[in-house]
């Protein structure tokens, strides 16, 4: 009987979403339009700010300090040299400078790296050891694609579950379900599975559909990326359950959902890198599930990382999912 009731709820929710053409169209069209807009906006050559990663900044020599005092160059601290060099290979960073050993790394094919090197060597009495790396340039579009997909999942998860439950509670649907043999666990499980299926289908459609026109970078495993998106969707759906557990007003639900979704969208590294940002901002960003979904997906797509390489993000997402789900189920009420 449990399986029968669960499947009935799952089928009903899926049919409701598919029949709501405006919601279905918005979930599919919005990320496609964003991707195509970025593809058009960043299809040509655009100016870029010089960006230099600095290793051993606190132990910088006098010559290195003179270079670090220059204006119009963005300097940020580097702790992982291997990871930083990969960014130079992808043209995301123009130079890596070891301020203590007076070594620097540039990409031989990077015009911006060439200009920063000329500025560095123009420092009086300059004596720096050059290291050259090679690598294909990663477009901003390639970098932002994982964030766009994750962001679309976030909105679909939060509003597709949280707002729907509140609407059901307000119009008395949940109160009527309470009089049936359906349990809260069965109802919430059906909501989660239904929304996850829809999110993953839409995400796959957007991913492969836009790739036909944009041809973005995919260096990692498609199965690993699917797992990360599925875990991220589960985590954010569980967060939506927490928000909608007892709210009876659609206006209050909309306000709370926006309160959670908009800070996540701007502070989770979707549109810009958090490297070089204030430590407090990075700590706040680390709380959001969207941060870990985006970072893990980006590492798989661009760096070719495995699930082991992004295990930190997986553990955070899994832990948040369990906490959100347990609290949402315990706090949930029918009326």
Identify which of 243, 46, 278, 270 has the alpha carbon closest to the alpha carbon of residue 151: 270
Give the separation between CA 270 and CA 272, rounded to whole angstroms: 6
Helix axes 21-41, 184-214, angle to 10 degrees: 30
How confident is the model over 72-100, as pLDDT tens digits? 888 888 888 888 888 888 777 889 999 88
Whether the per-residue pLDDT at 292 is higher than 70: the answer is yes
Name the pTM for this structure. Answer: 0.69
Q: How confident is the model at residue 181 (pLDDT cuts 50, 70, 90)?
A: confident
Say which residue, 298 or 136, is predicted with more confidence: 298
Q: What is the DSSP letter of 201?
A: H
Q: Which residue has the higher pLDDT, 43 or 262?
A: 262
Give long-range contacts, CB 8 A cutoff, 24+ apart: 305-309: 305/220, 305/224, 306/220, 306/221, 306/224, 307/224, 307/227, 307/228
Taking the C-alpha atoms of residue 190 and residue 204, their distance in angstroms, rounded to an integer, is: 21
Domain locations along the chain = 2-41+139-331, 50-133
Tokens linked to 175:
């109160």
SS (H, E, C) 209-257: HHHHHHCCCCCCCHHHHHHHHHHHHHHHHHHHHHHHCCCCCHHHHHHHH
Where residue 293 falls among pLDDT bands split at 50, 70, 90?
very high
Helix ranges restricted to H, the chain = 2-19, 21-41, 62-68, 81-89, 111-121, 140-157, 164-170, 173-178, 184-214, 222-244, 250-267, 279-285, 289-298, 311-331
């Amino acid at each position: 009987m449990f399986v029968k009731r669960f499947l009935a709820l799952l089928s009903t929710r899926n049919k409701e979403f598919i029949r709501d053409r405006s919601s279905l169209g918005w979930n599919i069209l919005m990320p496609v339009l964003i991707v195509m807009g970025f593809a058009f906006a960043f299809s040509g050559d655009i100016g870029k700010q010089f960006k230099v990663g600095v290793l051993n900044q606190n132990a910088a020599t006098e010559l290195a300090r003179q270079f670090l005092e220059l204006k119009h160059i963005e300097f940020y601290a580097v702790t992982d040299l291997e990871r930083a060099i990969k960014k130079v290979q992808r043209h995301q960073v123009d130079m890596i400078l070891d301020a203590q050993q007076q070594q620097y790394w540039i990409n031989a094919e990077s015009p911006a790296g060439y200009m920063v090197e000329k500025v560095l060597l123009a420092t009086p009495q300059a004596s720096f050891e050059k290291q050259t790396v090679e690598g294909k340039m990663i477009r901003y579009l390639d970098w932002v694609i994982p964030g766009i997909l994750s962001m679309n999942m976030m909105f679909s998860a939060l509003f597709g579950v949280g707002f729907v439950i509140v609407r059901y509670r307000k119009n008395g649907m949940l109160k009527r379900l309470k009089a049936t043999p359906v349990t809260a666990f069965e109802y919430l499980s059906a909501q989660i599975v239904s929304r996850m299926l829809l999110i993953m289908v839409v995400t796959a459609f957007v991913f492969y559909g836009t790739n036909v026109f944009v041809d973005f970078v995919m260096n990692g495993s498609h199965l690993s990326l699917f797992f990360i998106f599925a875990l991220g969707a589960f985590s954010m759906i569980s967060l939506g359950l927490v928000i909608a557990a007892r709210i009876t007003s659609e206006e209050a639900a909309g306000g709370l959902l926006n309160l959670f979704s908009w800070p996540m969208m701007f502070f989770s590294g979707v549109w810009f890198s958090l490297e070089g940002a204030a430590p407090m901002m990075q700590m706040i960003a680390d709380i959001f599930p969207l941060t870990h979904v985006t970072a893990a997906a980006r590492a798989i797509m661009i760096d070719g990382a495995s699930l082991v390489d992004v295990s930190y993000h997986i553990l955070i997402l899994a832990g948040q999912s369990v906490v959100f789900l347990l609290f949402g189920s315990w706090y949930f009420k029918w009326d």
